[in-house]
Structure formats: structure tokens, C-alpha cells
């Protein structure tokens, strides 16, 4: 994948073009590969791994991430945030980095569903799985570039694709560049502002599950550390993790 690696380097820009990277045709999971290589002392941050397909792509909450060949970008970045960086902020800056890369390379304007799902025309086009390694972090990103023949399987949920004229290496390099830039000052308020501008749930009624119980609340904003601020009959509180859905259940025409 020499040509893909060269194209990724160009998109990384002069500041990051020399970081170690590999572009694979297929692997089980780019997150898993980096985790294993880091634990065995074979790589150190920063390190970028991309694949054209994954046989065991992993999503949040133990789900599978459908990663068929020829349709998507699957990438993981091993990075070293400054000490004590809030994990929530890393997720936030990754979502903003992917939005920026897509906005600059296509006509699309993705919206973020807290925490870090990216939607275009009511369909999820990108998922992000950040995993901490007790200091370094692996930021795994899957972007659906094209709709697979026969469509997405039902387990992929309301999935869609960018279906835009953009190549995976260009997107991968830009995304990694913006994450690496952002990790130099993850507390920069511009990052959370950029996130808030693309996260339209504020003011909406959402449903979420807590301790096995389904709850309803109104979203009042995103906290400075990336939590979802909500208000319900018990008063205001902040959601740190989990998954939310709209009161109506559908994102079509909204996200």
C-alpha cells in the first residue's frame, strides 16, 4: 500500500508527515492491532494505522462495526495526550477533527450526535471508539465512504455513507493531522465551541438509558469537558457516557 501511505503523508502536512504509519488492505481491527503492538513495545505514539477493510471491526458498547472492503475508511491513531487530559475531551476533539476533514474535502456538513457519532442526512456515516491505555490513547475511526452493494446490514443501525468524491488516504491524513494538532492543547475552548456548533441536540428532548432504566430529559448544552448537560424532573445533571436517542426516535430531517 505504498501509494496510499504516500497520499496519507501528504495529507498529514509538513508538521506530521514523518510520523510512523501503515496502510493495510485488511486486518481484524485497527484498534486491536495498535493495542497489541503498543503493549508488546513494538510501537510508540504517535502511530497511524489504516485499513481498507476489517474482519472484526469493533464499535462502542461491545458492538461490531461493519467494515466491508472498498466502501470505507478504517483508521486508528495511537497518540499521547498531555498528562491528565480528560478522556471525554479526546473524543470531542476527534469528532470535530473528522467533521473538519469531511467539510474541507466534500460539500457535506456532518452533524454530531453526542457523544461522537457523525450523521449526514439523518444517517450515521462515522463512528469513533477511543480507548485509553493508561496514558496514550487509541482513537479508532470508521467512516462509511460508499454504500456497500446490497446496503448496510440491519445491525449497522441507521447507517449511511458520504457517497462523495473523496479518497480514503486524503481523509485519513487530514483527520489524523487535526487530532494531533488538537491534542497539543486539548483544553482550548475553540474545540468545544466547534463541537457545540455541530451538535444540534441542545433544546431537544432525548431518551437515554441509565442503570437499565429508560429516561427522558431535555438537553441544555455540552459542558466544557464534553458531558451532555440535561434537565429532567430530578433537576439538572450531566451525562458522561452512553447513548441517546431523540424523543421521537428518528434523526431523519434533523441530524
Residues near ligand BTN (CB under 6 A) are 29-31, 54, 57-60, 63, 65, 74-76, 117, 127-129, 140-142
Half-sphere exposure of 24 (CA within 13 A, CB side): 18
| Grid cell digits, residue 156 | 449497522
Question: What minimum distance in Å lies between the beta carbon of 231 and ligand BTN?
Answer: 27
Q: Which residues on adjacent β-strands are paired with residue 142?
A: 74, 127
Question: What's the CA gap between 136 and 133, in Å, rounded?
Answer: 5
Which lies closer to ligand BTN via its Cβ, residue 76 or residue 182? 76
The residue number whose beta carbon is nearest to ligand BTN equals: 127
185 in helix, strand or coil?
A: coil
Number of neighbours of residue 76 by Cβ within 10 angstroms: 27
Are 156 and 66 a contacting pair, CB within 8 Å?
yes
Where are the extended beta strands (E) located within the chain?
21-27, 47-54, 72-79, 111-113, 117-120, 123-132, 137-144, 205-210, 213-222, 228-232, 235-239, 244-246
Which lies closer to ligand BTN via its Cβ, residue 59 or residue 160? 59
Question: What minimum distance in Å lies between the beta carbon of 96 and ligand BTN?
Answer: 16
Question: What minimum distance in Å lies between the beta carbon of 181 and ligand BTN?
Answer: 20
Which lies closer to ligand BTN via its Cβ, residue 32 or residue 217? 32
Which lies closer to ligand BTN via its Cβ, residue 122 or residue 221? 122
Which lies closer to ligand BTN via its Cβ, residue 12 or residue 117? 117
137 in helix, strand or coil?
A: strand
Question: What minimum distance in Å lies between the beta carbon of 159 and ligand BTN?
Answer: 9
Which lies closer to ligand BTN via its Cβ, residue 29 or residue 71? 29
Question: What minimum distance in Å lies between the beta carbon of 235 and ligand BTN?
Answer: 30
Question: What minimum distance in Å lies between the beta carbon of 103 and ligand BTN?
Answer: 20
User: Which residue, 65, 214, 204, 26, is CA-closest to 144?
Assistant: 65
Amino acid at each position: 500500500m505504498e501509494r496510499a501511505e504516500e497520499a496519507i503523508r501528504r495529507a498529514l502536512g509538513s508538521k506530521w508527515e514523518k510520523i510512523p504509519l501503515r496502510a493495510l488492505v485488511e486486518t481484524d481491527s485497527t484498534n486491536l492491532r495498535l493495542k497489541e503492538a503498543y503493549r508488546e513495545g513494538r510501537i510508540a505514539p504517535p502511530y497511524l494505522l489504516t485499513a481498507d477493510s476489517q474482519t472484526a471491526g469493533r464499535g462502542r458498547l461491545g458492538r461490531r462495526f461493519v467494515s466491508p472492503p472498498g466502501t470505507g475508511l478504517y483508521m486508528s491513531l495511537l497518540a499521547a495526550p498531555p498528562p491528565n487530559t480528560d478522556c471525554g475531551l479526546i473524543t470531542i476533539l476527534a469528532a470535530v477533527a473528522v467533521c473538519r476533514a469531511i467539510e474541507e474535502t466534500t460539500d457535506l456538513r456532518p452533524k454530531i450526535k453526542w457523544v461522537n457519532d457523525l450523521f449526514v442526512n439523518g444517517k450515521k456515516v462515522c463512528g469513533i471508539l477511543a480507548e485509553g491505555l493508561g496514558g496514550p490513547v487509541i482513537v479508532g475511526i470508521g467512516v462509511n465512504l460508499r454504500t456497500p452493494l446490497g446496503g448496510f446490514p440491519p445491525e449497522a443501525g441507521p447507517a449511511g455513507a458520504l457517497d462523495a468524491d473523496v479518497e480514503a488516504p486524503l481523509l485519513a491524513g487530514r483527520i489524523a493531522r487535526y487530532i494531533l494538532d488538537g491534542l497539543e492543547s486539548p483544553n482550548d475552548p475553540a474545540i468545544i465551541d466547534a463541537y457545540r456548533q455541530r451538535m444540534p441536540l441542545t433544546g431537544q428532548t432525548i431518551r437515554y438509558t441509565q442503570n437499565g432504566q429508560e429516561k427522558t430529559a431535555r438537553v441544555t448544552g455540552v459542558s466544557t469537558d464534553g458531558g451532555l448537560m440535561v434537565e429532567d424532573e430530578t433537576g439538572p445533571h450531566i451525562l458522561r457516557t452512553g447513548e441517546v436517542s431523540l424523543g421521537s426516535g428518528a434523526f431523519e430531517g434533523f441530524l
